[in-house]
Amino acid sequence: MADSPWWQGAALYQLYVRSWHDSDGDGYGDIRGILERLDYLSWLGIDGVWLSPTMPSPDEDWGYDVSDYTSVHPELGTLADLDALIAAGTERGIRVLLDLVPNHTSSAHPWFVDARTARDSAHRDYYVWADPAPDGGPPNNWLDATGQPAWQWEPATGQYYLHNFLAGQPDLNWWEPAVHAEFRRILDFWFDRGVAGFRIDVAHGLYKDAELRDNPPLQANHGELDGRYGLQPVYNANRPQTHDIYRDWRQIAGSYAPPRLLLGETWVPDAGRLASYYGSNDELQLAFNFPFAFAEFSEAGLRDVISKTLAALPFGACPVWMASNHDIGRFPSRWCAEDKPRIRLALLLLLTLPGTTVLYYGDEIGMADVLVLPDLQRDAMTKGAAGKRGNRDRARTPMRWDGSASAGFTAAGVVPWLPLPDVSEPDVAEQRGDTSSTLWFCKQLIDLRHTELGGGVADFELLPGPAGLLAYRVGDIVVGLNLSAEQQRMPTGAGRQLLATTGAASADPAALGPSHGKIARWLPALG
Ligand code: GLC
Ligand code: MG
């Protein structure tokens, strides 16, 4: 479709800047490092990159605690470097999205530094302040991301301030009109520089209940996404007023040519609530599908979440498929138990579904989570955490570019900020030299996505099939994924094979071994 937006059918790439490529040998990846390796992304066929936070920050939460919204973190580069990256990206058809953090700032942000000085300071109302409860304790039962009370006592002014994440990340008060004005200015600042859009951090957060009511308890048998620490996030997030912000920002994004993209981190448990962030196609153009990422990697689990997603989204909206990120870990570990055929099966799924696919750096080489020992952990929010989500550093370790001691990530002899994956792990150089590698498979999928799949939801249909076989038709392509341990067959109607997880074409083109998948031409006459 000539008039469909560039992100429909696109393959985006989440690039964790500190861990991708270090150009100056300080052990931290940086923007010039991205420039040096940009041709790799262009070879892979990537349409756009989302850079993890690039703005100045004391790094209590690695850039998710912003102290200046219109500049670049000195450790990562300069505004000129970012301009150069945008220009180099434009030449290669790679758009650059930044991470925007509007739910909270750093406590080192000048707004908060001023706000905490006095109750009548100019920026006091930029943040959420409250008097103690009658017993002197926190104003309500809200808990922060570590499970501690979400309120920090400030003796200087005799009130608590709200922080849904760390105490160094005070929540902004979106009931204050000046906060809206500040962010409109920030949006324009970056859009004017040619930034293609934003990934919006904690997009379901922003407004908080005006009465600061207590959150209700979690139901028994709750899902991973329903809440944590025994509470449902009913009043400290997911407030209806947040939608007004996105209607406003959508107008701003739409006033640019080409329109700028708003991609939300919408951490919600179901497709209905996910769909609400698209509004009537007048809010976010894209919203991350966490129910998909947390679905069971099985035919039944995937069929359920895919059909619910497509049924819930407004007509014409573009779904978003991703399975790894810097918080939830990597799918080769979570979904695939590091089994190579299943990793390829997951890539086949991610890159043939309609809408927008977001790969996390390393997905393309099948990079797994890396065990980071407690002494080397850098994430304050999850330090020492065990359990399902665990320590987030496991998915933030440097990219393995080659088999050398520095992995091609940094200069020889430099200790990277997080440990490198083991030398036995897959690396880019080795896989680029082997056309049967996962990297090549991923590249071929992206090429096929561009040439054969329009990305439109209207062209997509889940096909009925036996348990364990997930099959769908996209335009005149049919995809079959065998998620079972038994032999399966491609659906009737599948013609010439275009790509298979095994690489080689098998003697029987319709055969699908356990954990294998194929893409074939759809021949309706056979169906
Ligand atoms: C989002 C980010 C996460 C960060 C949090 C607070 O969930 O993805 O990394 O810690 O917001 O900004
Ligand atoms: Mg560096």
Q: If you measure from the C-alpha of residue 163 to the centroid of ligand 1, how many angstroms do you get, rounded to a whole number?
A: 13
Provide the CA 171 distance to its chain's centre, in angstroms: 21
Place of tokens 């920090």: 152
Computed over every residue of the chain, the mean pLDDT equals 96
The pLDDT assigned to 3 comes to 77
The pLDDT assigned to 422 comes to 86
Q: Closest Cα to residue 322, out of 278, 272, 264, 282? A: 264
Indicate the helix (H) or strand (E) that contains 141.
Answer: none
Place of tokens 């998948």: 517
Question: What value does the mean pLDDT take over residues 360-379?
Answer: 95
Cβ neighbours for 22, distance < 8 A, ≥ 6 positions apart: 28, 29, 30, 33, 398, 409, 410, 411, 414, 416
Q: Is the CB of 380 under 6 A from ligand 1?
A: no
Two tokens at 422?
A: 């083991």
Q: How many other CB atoms sit within 10 Å of the CB of residue 247?
A: 13
The pLDDT assigned to 183 comes to 99
**Cα–Cα dist 106/68, whole Å:** 9
Instruction: Check: pTM over 0.75? Answer yes or no.
Output: yes
Atom of ligand 1 nearest to the CA of 164: 6
Question: What value does the mean pLDDT take over residues 49-70?
Answer: 98
Q: Closest Cα to residue 347, out of 325, 322, 368? A: 322
Known catalytic membership, residue 338: no
Two tokens at 121?
A: 């300071």
- The answer on pLDDT for 348 being more than 70 is yes
The packing angle between helices 177-192 and 242-254, to 10°, is 30
Catalytic residue among 47, 61, 201, 299: 201
The pLDDT assigned to 1 comes to 44
pLDDT digits (tens, 9 = 90+) for 138-160: 999 999 999 999 999 999 999 99
Q: If you measure from the C-alpha of residue 204 to the centroid of ligand 1, how many angstroms do you get, rounded to a whole number?
A: 12
| Cis amide linkage into residue 514, ω under 30° from 0 | no
Asked whether the beta carbons of 479 and 518 are under 8 A apart, the reply is yes
pLDDT digits (tens, 9 = 90+) for 400-450: 999 999 999 999 999 999 999 888 888 999 999 999 999 999 999 999 999
Ligand approaching nearest to the C-alpha of 410:
2
Known catalytic membership, residue 201: yes
pLDDT digits (tens, 9 = 90+) for 230-267: 999 999 999 999 999 999 999 999 999 999 999 999 99
Q: If you measure from the C-alpha of residue 52 to the centroid of ligand 2, how many angstroms do you get, rounded to a whole number?
A: 15
